[in-house]
């Protein structure tokens, strides 16, 4: 059990039959009245975000999310195949379970498969990935005055904004949490 007074970012717990992860929290001590904890919670199964307040003494059962390394093998229509790094067993996952989490993942990349009580609900890509730019407009000399950007299509099919000096066939590092360009490699 975890009390609301012990909340920290990333903590997962059960509430009303759902599993939530704390995205943001704030302990509030008003001048009058009792203290409370204001939170922003993400439902780890559906991905929905809700705001909720708790009394600091409220207790909820902790939820343990299992994160296991799997290698992304290939996709076959709407099924995506992953291989367990220890047992070499293959596991197909439906595209509905994954959402946008694979837009920066290419074949043979190691990802973390997330499960709760044996039910797989998502995939967590590595924080930073190196991908090739397959299509982008050429940059023009002198267009660097204000950090301007242009769209670029990556080898996985995802489109992100990159600085003007990035060219086709360049390799870049991308932050998968935000989808932002980090640097050229």
Domains of the chain in sequence order = 2-60 (2.30.30.30), 66-124 (2.40.50.140), 128-184 (2.40.50.140)
What kind and span of H or E run contains 39? strand 36-43
Higher pLDDT, 173 or 77: 173
Residues 161-178: b if buried by 16+ CB within 10 A, e if exposed: ebbbebeeeeebebebee
Q: Which residue has the tokens 């490699």?
A: 185
Residue 62 above 80 pLDDT? Answer: yes
Tell me if 166 sits within 8 A of 157, measured CB to CB. Answer: no
Q: Give me the pLDDT at residue 53, please.
A: 93
Which percentage of the chain shows pLDDT scores above 70?
96
Q: Please state the rounded mean pLDDT for residues 88-101.
A: 83
Q: Give me the pLDDT at residue 41, please.
A: 92
Q: Would you list the DSSP string of 52-75?
A: EEE-TT-EE-B---EEEEEEEEEE
Alpha helices in the chain, H assignment, sequence order: 95-98
Q: Please state the rounded mean pLDDT for residues 153-181.
A: 90
Tell me if 181 sits within 8 A of 160, measured CB to CB. Answer: yes
Q: Would you list the DSSP string of 79-103?
A: EEEEEETTT--EEEEEHHHHTTTTT
Separation CA 137–CA 178 (nearest Å) = 23
Q: Give me the pLDDT at residue 128, please.
A: 92
């Amino acid at each position: 059990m975890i009390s609301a007074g012990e909340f920290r970012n990333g903590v997962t717990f059960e509430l009303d039959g759902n599993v939530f992860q704390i995205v943001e929290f704030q302990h509030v001590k008003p001048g009058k009245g009792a203290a409370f904890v204001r939170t922003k919670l993400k439902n780890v199964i559906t991905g929905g975000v809700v705001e909720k307040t708790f009394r600091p003494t409220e207790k909820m059962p902790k939820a343990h999310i299992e994160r296991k390394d799997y290698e992304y093998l290939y996709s076959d229509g709407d099924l995506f195949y992953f291989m367990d790094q220890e047992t070499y067993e293959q596991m197909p996952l439906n595209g509905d379970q994954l959402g946008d989490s694979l837009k920066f993942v290419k074949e043979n990349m190691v990802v973390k498969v997330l499960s709760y009580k044996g039910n797989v609900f998502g995939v967590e890509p590595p924080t930073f990935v190196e991908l090739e730019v397959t299509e982008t407009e050429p940059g023009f000399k002198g267009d660097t005055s204000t950090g301007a950007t242009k769209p670029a299509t990556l080898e996985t099919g995802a489109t992100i904004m990159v600085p003007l000096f990035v060219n086709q066939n360049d390799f870049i590092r991308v932050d998968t949490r935000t989808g932002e360009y980090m640097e050229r490699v």
